[in-house]
């Protein structure tokens, strides 16, 4: 009565989650990271000299935006475009 019947089927292992990129706030900058690799960043100017423009960079793409949200979206978009394009000069 105290024994449970042995299971014949093993429980399936949980699928590993794909790494998801995330934003991290820093001093005068925000970084977009995937694990330990920085995919892009949004920079502010020096505190007393900042002109109110957010400058962003992701891979070979860069630009300026009026708001932090716009700059973050631009970085995310540039990362997606960069991930979907084939690299021309990299060796396979």
Evaluate whether residue 17 is within a structural domain.
no
pLDDT for the residue numbered 9: 72
Measure the CA–CA gap between 61 and 78, rounded to whole angstroms. Answer: 7
Evaluate whether residue 91 is within a structural domain.
no
Reported confidence tier of residue 48, pLDDT bands at 50, 70, 90: confident
Evaluate whether residue 6 is within a structural domain.
no
Q: 26 — phi, psi (to 5°)? A: -130, -170
- For the entire predicted model, the pTM comes to 0.70
Evaluate whether residue 50 is within a structural domain.
yes
Evaluate whether residue 4 is within a structural domain.
no
Evaluate whether residue 75 is within a structural domain.
yes
Q: For the chain, what is the domain count?
A: 1
Closest residue by Cα to residue 30 from 61, 60, 8, 58? 58
Reported confidence tier of residue 19, pLDDT bands at 50, 70, 90: confident
Residue range 24-35, pLDDT digits in tens:
999 999 999 999
Evaluate whether residue 34 is within a structural domain.
yes
Range of the domain at 52: 24-84
């Amino acid at each position: 009565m105290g024994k449970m019947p042995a299971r014949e089927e093993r429980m399936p292992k949980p699928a590993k989650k794909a790494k998801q990129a995330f934003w991290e706030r820093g001093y005068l900058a925000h970084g977009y990271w995937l694990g330990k690799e920085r995919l892009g960043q949004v920079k502010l100017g020096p505190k007393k000299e900042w002109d109110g423009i957010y400058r962003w960079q992701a891979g070979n793409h860069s630009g300026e935006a009026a708001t932090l949200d716009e700059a973050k979206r631009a970085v995310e978009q540039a990362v997606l475009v960069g991930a979907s394009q084939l690299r021309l000069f990299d060796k396979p």
